[in-house]
Amino acid sequence: MTAPKTLLELSGADLNPPKLSDSCLVLIDIQNEYRAGPLALPDAEPAIAVAAKLLARARQSGATIFHIAHKGRAGSLFDREAERGAIVESLKPLTNEAVIEKGLPNAFAGTDLQARLAATGRTNIVLAGFMTHMCVSSTARAALDLGLRITIAADACATRDLPDGRGGALSARTIHEVALAELSDRFAIITPGEALT
């Protein structure tokens, strides 16, 4: 039996990651909510460390940077007025970097992200953030529909354990890897963060 190939491979797509200088970096929901409490992700800290290095390289390269922050209700998950809803300190936006608040998993839904990306003239977007199976996945899928070329920094993303529907659980690592495998089939180039320069 031959090794499986993705639809992107079968179509002959260019799977080389873009240069950061030709890209927009979109950091999705890298907020304190995922570091503690009911939504704490087991791999949040390593992913944050990779994302911080990626952000530093993106800034140095001249990439356009967008910070996406989920906005929840006051006193609830992702309360942007509270510490829990704040973007983590090591990825704190600079004054010239856009912060876009969203209320749905897809960062394009109900926001001006598409218009802001279009204004840059760039079609390569690099995604990193939380959670792999939810907001990263839905944003990547929507981006394809908008004609963008998507790359995901795999180790700058993380997710959480989920119920399996049969009384058990699927591990965060399994959910993360399956989400990335799904996205690699048609939606995105999947690469380690350090490969993006």
Q: Please report the DSSP string for 123-158 in residue order.
A: -EEEEEEE-IIIIIHHHHHHHHHTT-EEEEEEEEEE
Q: Who contacts 19 (Cβ-Cβ below 8 Å, separation ≥6)?
A: 61, 197
d(CA 128, CA 88): 14
Q: Which residues are tagged catalytic?
A: 29, 102, 135
Report H helices in the chain: 7-10, 44-61, 113-120, 137-145, 172-186
DSSP H or E segment with residue 37: none
